[in-house]
Structure 1
């Protein structure tokens, strides 16, 4: 019995123990890690024999299942990230509830108009919108936040990737960490601007009143934050915890107009076959069955997500309960869709970014200092990981080729 809650750790333990399941589900951002540990079965030959190729999928999902020229699984249920906004709060603030911001500058302006604060004037507590504060009140941060239009730190799950909306890069795809990329610096200057504008203590006090995400007290569900970056799954939680919420979704704005090519982050669950299983063909039969259009659409509909397949039936969108599901599906097709960097040290990189952004949120360091520190620390880790791969690359690729040859005989 494996007393481990995380599926990724369970799979490694089962594979190491010589008794892996015939099929496993992984997050796509972990595919490269398992592949390089020789914990997965490469599927190229099997898929070629079944005439399954990249053309069957929205391109990004085939890419997410691939690593170093090999295909390691097939997608199941994907997600993208989009702006969610509260239409009722927009209307109350004098904004058009049907028109979300198109640029970061517009987002910032709307966020100020949507923000309500309590301020003491002449011994009396008044509630005003942020733009109605005097210059002195803004500078002194003498106000209490009641409702916030937006802040990059809510929910704060993708803080390390805000640079994508500023044309930033996290690495060069090979051997250099780029936390200090100009786009990332611009993103964290923008993020720090929110702490400077509203005040670190004011934001911390406001945030301390939030409930858990999966609860009616979540800041977006309780209408205390008017705009958030969230994923396809958010619809399920709105239905459960805030069914009366008047909301909409659209592409999250970038620092400049993207000419109909919006930025988003994409992820997908992936069905894989662990290395060493005895029923490879039968396992692949099931995975291919799931990837048939009617089956995939039924699965996606059940999870309130969209299909990763290139061809989708018209009735899928017509019958889908999420009125904005097509927004999320179209984001996956954008040439500017981004995903977690395919590096084996990503978790370490992310941890360093979290620490740096936490320091930035307390205004203890500048964005340049924060990202320079990350670059130096993580570059050393990437260099070590690359040296380890250089030592085993030839043997690994030889093993992958042998596995494919043995499995197809």
Structure 2
């Protein structure tokens, strides 16, 4: 009987010894991107015998579901969130700071592309690791440039020339309905930086919405909606097809010049006609403005405060964001890996689409910025969007609108502090 008990105890102990720690991993990619990520998860699971990662698809747009989960008892161990969610969630106590883990792993700023280390951090505290990076550049339809008699291989060199090109490329029918836009500035804060402005001073920790460069940029952005008629623009945009489809307005010749993230390179390969020719360059700047401005955005992986296995979660994240894995995942998404070594990875280099090198050059040798990672970042973004609408409609001047944003965001930040 004694032997039976001993054997039973040893059996139980061996079962516990063999048991793996299970991690719930919320990921946000479907299609081929999702398959690529799941293949990496399977590879991690097979690479060791201590942890098993259970992936669960949760679209990144379901912010409420994520917020509810992080506040409740059914918290995932690793979650995928947008960049603007990282600091607000981290500062609210919903995410685990990663600084100690990163220090222990010997990971520091030198491992990442310029500017990326402070991305997703607030006052030095890092709450997440970027999955991949998105950057934005200037893209034009070469055939339409030829049509209006300008060099198809040379983009506008400055804002003045861009305005001239936009006029040349514009088309409307006999009723005055727009049939083609030469250009339409869409992401207004890119031009804040192009015009020499900024949204946040990291040295003084001050909101700078009313920076003179921002005011000049917003006046310029709004001028397009006045010049080409806001209502007619909206009617025309309603005829545009999905971006990830053959009906993308850029491929169909409805929009001659656009702001485009590097994922557009993959969309063009998948959906545009085989003879479609386009160019990519950094954004043109006005006199005295900034050259080669690179706006950075994307998603993050983070460890919720409620994770029952934070150490194992970081072990998985550390593996997943290592240069080799980062290179493979970014290659599948036509995104840019955040790690320096991943950029030079042979696999990533072999899968780089034409013109990707321009985006990478902007991130490695340009003026890199991201929307301020503040606890009230989303509020700031919404206030700026509202300001643009006021200026577009003529309800406020650019200076008045941005002064109002300045005061509102300062009040909100003080309330938070």
Q: TM-score range by the shorter chain?
A: 0.7 to 0.9
Are residues 1:118 and 2:147 paired? no
Q: Is the 8 A contact 2:330 2:348 kept in 1?
A: no
Deviations 1:331-368 (A, max 9, x none): 22245111111222222222222222112222333212
**Corresponding residue number in structure 2 for 1:93:** 148
What displacement does 1:258 show?
6.5
What displacement does 1:176 show?
4.2
Q: 1:276 to 1:294 in 2, by over 3 A?
A: same
**Corresponding residue number in structure 2 for 1:69:** 124
Deviations 1:91-130 (A, max 9, x none): 111111111122111211111122223358xxxxxxxxxx
**Corresponding residue number in structure 2 for 1:145:** 178
What displacement does 1:164 show?
1.5
Deviations 1:5-40 (A, max 9, x none): 745433332232133211112222322111111111
What displacement does 1:85 show?
0.8
CA distance in 1, matches of 2:303, 2:349: 34
**Corresponding residue number in structure 2 for 1:188:** 218
What displacement does 1:183 show?
0.7
Q: Is the 8 A contact 1:162 1:184 kept in 2?
A: yes
What displacement does 1:300 show?
0.8
Q: 1:163 to 1:301 in 2, by over 3 A?
A: same
Name the SS of the counterpart of 2:299 in structure 1: strand
Name the SS of the counterpart of 2:416 in structure 1: helix
CA distance in 1, matches of 2:312, 2:335: 27
Alignment of 1:351-370 (within 5 A): 351-370=382-401
Q: 1:365 to 1:18 in 2, by over 3 A?
A: same
Name the SS of the counterpart of 2:117 in structure 1: helix
Gaps of 5+ in 1: 121-142, 387-409
**Corresponding residue number in structure 2 for 1:402:** none
What displacement does 1:235 show?
2.2
Are residues 1:60 and 2:60 paired? no
Name the SS of the counterpart of 1:63 in structure 2: coil
Pick 1 or 2: higher relative contact order, CA cutoff 8 A, min separation 6.
1
Q: Is the 8 A contact 1:180 1:371 kept in 2?
A: yes
Q: Which runs of 4+ in 1 moved over 6 A?
A: 1-5
**Corresponding residue number in structure 1 for 2:191:** 162
Q: Is the 8 A contact 1:82 1:328 kept in 2?
A: yes
> Aligned match of 1:84 in 100, 123, 139?
139
What displacement does 1:195 show?
2.8
Q: Is the 8 A contact 2:60 2:81 kept in 1?
A: no
CA distance in 2, matches of 1:109, 1:4: 41
Are residues 1:300 and 2:333 paired? no
Gaps of 5+ in 2: 1-55
**Corresponding residue number in structure 1 for 2:263:** 233
TM-score by length of 1: 0.80
Deviations 1:142-201 (A, max 9, x none): x4432221011xxx3x23443121111223345643322111110121122223332334
What displacement does 1:80 show?
0.5
